Amino acid sequence: MTVTETPATTDLDAHTRTLDRAHVFHSWSAQAALDPLVLAGGLGSTVWDHAGRTYLDFSSQLVNVNIGHQHPAVVAAIQQQAATLATIAPSTANLARGEAARRITDRAPDGMHKVFFTNGGADAVENAIRMARLHTRRDKVVSTYRSYHGNTGAAVVATGDWRRVPNEYARSHVHVFGPFLYRSEFWATTPEEECERALTHLRRVIECEGPASVAAVLLETIPGTAGVLVPPPGYLAGVRELCDAHGIVMILDEVMAGFGRTGEWLALDTFDVRPDLIAFAKGVNSGYVPVGGVIIGDEIAADFDEAVFPGGLTYSGHPLACASIVAALDAMESEGIVDNARRIGADVLGPGLHELAERHPVVGEVRGLGVFWALDLVTDPATRAPVPPALIGLAKKEALSRGLVPFAADNRIHVVPPCVVTDDECARALSIYDEVLTLLDKEIAS
């Protein structure tokens, strides 16, 4: 049988793996040793393979399936839109697009009434940077080392982690250290010290780079892939003050943290801060159709009332994507899904993860809110030395063997289920994490 034939047997998992190994080139991976998990279906917080093995999805895939898998209202909206009008040029006006933009701006801070739609989060960041540069007529973009903003030209260079280094083709990017008390770069011992010193560091970098050369400060409201780094009180407000003092555009990247993930509609709602531009994607429609965008402050949007905005995408505001946004945001509101995420974080996941940390020395710190948490795993609680990659690999393997899809990054396990997760599902997951952490404790002790 060639790899293009459908198998006569019921072993679709093996056939899927054969097709994948023969034809699919995976992101961020050396290809030869890959053995990806096969997924054939899902519902809510559960996914399964062709053989019927089920897993709790505590990764939300790439922290994007906020509304859960196969929400019937979102599926139906996509089907209905496909039957009505499957695609249309971005230069036209379309009801689904207008309704999606209105619902998004209804959730934004005051003074933000326009949306530029993109294909995903990376090109949302890309276009936010473009807008900031055009608005200020400056070039430099300041972002943090502990960040991820996407894999397009400027977005990946704005990224702070290792993925930036092989891709540094974009110009005029400057990096700083953001606040992270557990692994402070500033010898801080309290959140207040960390906030003050991180802001001083940012201010000094802006001063040394030349404030008149800085177009934007670009931050994830809560850095996600870098470790769910909830900023200390006052930090984002301090960044806003610095930007205002120097005419710098403040861009908040809400691609991962937005639309329910933190138990708020937008993560910035926790911090009472208004940026000039907001990049979004992922949770706005839970990834059912690729989409992202930039929510634009009125002052920047007015720049292009007469001047041409020099950017565009064939699929900007694609009707299938926009229909899925309308259905997702309406369902999240009517079903109390954002409230559920907040309650789960405060009453179930947060307490449960902190209790695990008390019993497992391998857990150095628990961070998060809503359904957005990370376990910082260490070999020694005193030195806070990160666990090696082999132990994270073991943790992933053991979690999967127990029926849980984990999200792992560096030395961390991120606990990021859909916003619709139930108390019982959290209890099952916490039991699995308990077993996995017990194994890691033993590995470190041996």
pLDDT over threshold 70, residue 80: yes
Residues 134-147 have a mean pLDDT of 98
CA dist 79 and 318 (Å) reads: 14
The strand order across the sheet containing 249-253 reads 112-118, 292-297, 277-280, 249-253, 214-220, 140-144, 173-176
Whether the model pTM is above 0.85: yes
Q: Which residues pair with 386 in a beta bridge?
A: 378
pLDDT at 276: 98
State the DSSP H helix or E strand holding residue 347, giving kind and residue range, or none if neither.
none
Question: Closest by alpha carbon to 437, among 425, 416, 404, 423?
Answer: 404
| Residue 119 parent element (H or E) | none
pLDDT at 59 over 90: yes
Give the Å distances, CA to CA, from 22 to 16, 18, 32. Answer: 10, 6, 11
pLDDT in the model for residue 4: 39
Domains of the chain: 37-70+336-445 (3.90.1150.10), 72-334 (3.40.640.10)
Cα–Cα distance for residue pair 251/218, rounded to 1 Å: 5
What is the sign, positive or negative, of the torsion defined by CA atoms of 108, 141, 155, 370? negative
Residue 185: phi and psi, rounded to 5, are -90, 0
Given a cut of 50, whether residue 122 has pLDDT beyond it is yes
Residue 124 in contact with residue 279, Cβ under 8 Å? Answer: yes
3-state secondary structure of 193: helix
Largest CA distance in the chain: 69
Scanning 54-107, the segments in alpha helix (DSSP H) are: 60-63, 72-84, 95-106
Which residues are registered as beta bridge partners of 154? Answer: none
Say how many CA atoms lie within 13 Å of 190 toward its Cβ: 3
Q: Are strands 363-369 and 412-415 parallel, antiparallel or unpaired?
A: unpaired
413 vs 168, more confident: 413
In terms of Cα–Cα distance, which of 246, 240, 227, 321 is closest to 275?
A: 240
Tallying the residues shown for the chain, one arrives at 446
Tens digits of residue pLDDT in 367-383: 999 999 999 999 999 99
Which two structure tokens, joined as six digits, stand for 77?
């909206």
Which pLDDT does position 154 carry in this prediction? 93
Q: How many angstroms separate the CA atoms of 347 and 56, rounded?
A: 20
* 257-281 per-position pLDDT tens digit: 999 999 999 999 999 899 999 999 9
* pLDDT at residue 10, as a whole number: 52
Secondary structure (3-state) at 204: helix
Query: Considering the chain, what percentage of its residues have pLDDT values greater than 90?
Result: 94
Element (H, E) at 155: helix 153-158
**Sheet with 404-405, side-by-side order of all strands:** 41-43, 46-48, 54-57, 404-405
Q: Token digits for 124?
A: 């949302």
Task: Give the pLDDT confidence of 193-245 residue by residue, as tens digits.
Answer: 999 999 999 999 999 999 999 999 999 999 999 999 999 999 999 999 999 99
Whether the CB-CB separation of 63 and 222 falls below 8 Å is answered with: no
CB proximity list for 81: less than 8 A, separation 6 or greater = 96, 319, 320, 322, 323
Positive/negative CA dihedral, 321, 253, 223, 344: negative
At residue 392, the pLDDT reads: 97
